[in-house]
Structure 1
C-alpha cells in the first residue's frame, strides 16, 4: 500500500490551508484545488471580505500550495454552482422560502462534483477546512461529529452528505479550536495565518439578497399586501423576496409596537404580520430527508434538532410522516421555524440526519 492521495479544497482561507498542512504532516500525498465557482471573475467583489471565489482567493491558495510544496490546480465548477446553488437560491426566495445555499453547495458542488473529479484523477479522499469530524460508527455508518469547538461548529451545513461521500472525506480541522488553527498556520509560516473569515453568502457580498435576485433573474418582483392572519390588510410590501419568518426590521409598518413576519403566502403574494408570540410553534414537517448516523426511521426517535445554523438545538421527537417526510415535535415551542431552512437532527455529538422545513 502506497501513500493515500487527498485533494484538499483550498479556498484561500486559513482553515483549508491548515487542513492541507495537517494532512501532509500525517503522510498523505496532498493536492490543492481551488474551485472556480463565480460566474464573472471581474465582478467578484468579495476578495476583501475573505470570500472563496475571486482572484485573490486563487492567489492566496497558490501561495499556500507553494509554501507547502504541493501540486495546485484551479478547477472550473461554474456550471454546477450556477445550477445547484444560485438557481436554487433564487427559485426558493421567489417561492416564499428562505434557502441555505451553503448546504446545497456542500452537497452538490464541494462534494458531489469535486469528489467525482478527484476520484477521476486518482485521489482516494477529498478534504476541507470545515469545523467538523467524520467518524465511522459501530453500526458501520459514517457520520459527521461536532467539532471540538462549539463556537465554530459547522456540522449543521453538512447534514446532507451521503454515506459514499463521507467514506471518502477527511476533516482534520474539526479536532482544533480556531485559535489553535491560527497558531498552527503561524508556526507553519502560512501566508494566510491572519486572514479574516468570510461571513456572508459568497455570491451576495453586500447581503442584498433581493437586489441579487432581481439582477440575476431579470424579473420584476410584484408588490403585495401585508395582512394579519385573519386577512385584514395592513399595508403594502415590496415583494416577498424581501422578507423571512421572524423579520422585524424593514417592514415600515407603524403599528405602535414591534411586529414580525409570521408567514409568507406566495400563492396570494401576501406577507402575514403578527406578534412575537405568534412565531412560537412546536411542530414541523420536513422533506428531502438525508439520514446519516441512523439508517432510517421505523417509529418515533428522541433526538435534538437545530432549525437554523446558529440555533442551540432543542429536544424533540421525530417520527415518520407520509411520502417519506418526517414530523418533528419539540418539547418546547421554537421561535421562527422557517420554510426552506434545514432542520438537522443530532444524536449526542453526531448528526443523525436532516431535511428541509416545509
Structure 2
C-alpha cells in the first residue's frame, strides 16, 4: 500500500474497490441506504442480516426488525444493488444474551434496555467478529451516531440530527469496536434525507415505516412476553404506601415501572401517588408522593469509558448525563469507585431513576459521548 494513498470516505487508505465492508442490514431503510450508498461508491459490500427470533411469528408484525419480512426486504435491497447478502441464525445467542436478561431484569424489579444489550452482545460482538472472519476492513451500520477522529483516536459523537440521535443506545461501544465500526448516516440533518437517498437508489424499502417498540415484543406488550418466558411472573400482590399500609392490589410487579402514576387503581386519595419502588420478592409495589421519586445520587456499574485518560485516573469527572433515552443530558459529577463502578451525583435531582436503565456520560461541551454504565440499585 502506498504511504501517500488518500483516505477513502470510510477513513481507510485504500481504493473503495479494494475495501470490503460488511453492512449490518436489519431490513429497514437506514441500513439499506448505507449498503446502497457504499455499493454505489464502489466498495466491496457484503450485506449480513441476523435472524434474531422466530421469523414465522414475526412475519405479520409491523415495525419489527431482524426477522421475517425484514430479512426478505434486506435480500431485495442486495439484489437491487448487486452485492452478496447472507442471513445468519443468531436466535440462540439473542435469546441467551438479550431476551433472558430482559425477562429476569423485570422479575428483579428493574427496567431493562434490551436494545443496548443487543448492540453490545450481538451486533457489535458476534456480528463484528463475523465481519472480520469475512476479511472485511470495517463494518458499517445504519445507526444515527458519528465516529470522529480525535487526538487520541476514534471518538463517538452524537448524530447531527438530535431527533434521531442513538447515542444512549450505543454508549457501551468499546474503543476497539469503534476502531472497526463506521456510521455513514450520522452526519445527515434529518430522516427525510435518508428517505430521499433511498428513493434515489430505487430501494424497495424507501417508504417503509420506522421500526417501533422492542423488536421481540409484539405491540409493546412486554408483560405478555415475560409471562410466557417466566410462568408465574405476573402473580398478583399488594400496593402499599411508604409506611407499609396496604392501599390496594396489583396484577403483577412486571406491569409497573418507577415513576408510574396511571393505572394503579387506587383512586380517592388526597394527593396523586407514584410508583417509587418495586419489591419483587414480596410481590409489592410501593407508592409515594412525587417528591419521593427525586434522586440525586446514582450507583453505576459495568462502566464503558470512552474518554482519553483512564476512567479511574481522576477523583471526579464533570460531565452531562442522560438517565433515560427520552431525557436531555443534565450536569453531573461522576466519581469513580474503580475502573468499572462509580457514583454519579446529579446537580439537579431527577425523578423516576430506575435500576436497569443506562446512565450515559457526555462531554460538558460539544457532542462527544464519554461512555456510561448501568444503574444497578433502585431506590
- Tell me the TM-score normalised to structure 2 length: 0.90
Distance across 2 between alignment mates of 1:267 and 1:54 = 35
Matches within 5 A, 1:56-135: 56-135=69-148
Q: What number of residue pairs does the alignment pair up? A: 355
Distance across 1 between alignment mates of 2:261 and 2:124 = 36
Distance across 1 between alignment mates of 2:315 and 2:60 = 46
- Of 137, 142, 145, which residue of structure 1 is paired with 2:150? 137
> Residue 63 of structure 1 contacts residue 191 of structure 1 at CA under 8 Å; is this kept in 2?
yes
SS in 2 for 1:150: coil
Over 3 Å counting, the alpha-carbon distance change for 1:63 and 1:322 in structure 2 is closer
Is the deviation greater in 152-161 or in 205-214? 205-214
Distance across 2 between alignment mates of 1:46 and 1:274 = 41
> Residue 59 of structure 2 contacts residue 68 of structure 2 at CA under 8 Å; is this kept in 1?
no
Distance across 2 between alignment mates of 1:90 and 1:250 = 22
Is the deviation greater in 228-237 or in 109-118? 228-237
1:253: which partner in 2? 266
Distance across 2 between alignment mates of 1:53 and 1:14 = 13
Matches within 5 A, 1:147-158: 147-158=159-170
1:336: which partner in 2? 352
Give a deviation string over 1:288-341, Cα, whole Å, max 9, x none. 111113431321111000001111110111111368421111111112111100
Give a deviation string over 1:134-164, Cα, whole Å, max 9, x none. 1232123x33210110001001100011111
Query: Which aligned segments of 4 or more residues in structure 1 are displaced greater than 4 angstroms?
Result: none
Matches within 5 A, 1:202-281: 202-256=215-269, 257-281=271-295
Q: Does 1:300 align with 2:300?
A: no
Unaligned ranges ≥5, structure 1: none
1:24: which partner in 2? 39
SS in 2 for 1:185: helix
Q: How far apart are 1:53 and its partner, in Å?
A: 2.6
Q: RMSD over aligned Cα, in angstroms?
A: 1.6
Q: Does 1:290 align with 2:290?
A: no
Unaligned ranges ≥5, structure 2: 2-13
1:173: which partner in 2? 185
SS in 2 for 1:201: coil
SS in 2 for 1:166: helix
Over 3 Å counting, the alpha-carbon distance change for 1:88 and 1:46 in structure 2 is farther
> Residue 19 of structure 1 contacts residue 173 of structure 1 at CA under 8 Å; is this kept in 2?
yes
Distance across 2 between alignment mates of 1:188 and 1:53 = 22
Q: How far apart are 1:46 and its partner, in Å?
A: 5.7
2:50: which partner in 1? 35
Is the deviation greater in 200-209 or in 96-105? 200-209
1:353: which partner in 2? 371
Q: How far apart are 1:194 and its partner, in Å?
A: 1.0
Q: How far apart are 1:209 and its partner, in Å?
A: 1.1
Distance across 2 between alignment mates of 1:270 and 1:349 = 41
SS in 1 for 2:62: helix
Q: How far apart are 1:45 and its partner, in Å?
A: 4.9
Distance across 1 between alignment mates of 2:149 and 2:341 = 26
Q: How far apart are 1:27 and its partner, in Å?
A: 3.6
SS in 2 for 1:133: strand
Distance across 1 between alignment mates of 2:338 and 2:127 = 34
Distance across 2 between alignment mates of 1:265 and 1:323 = 30
Distance across 2 between alignment mates of 1:317 and 1:304 = 8
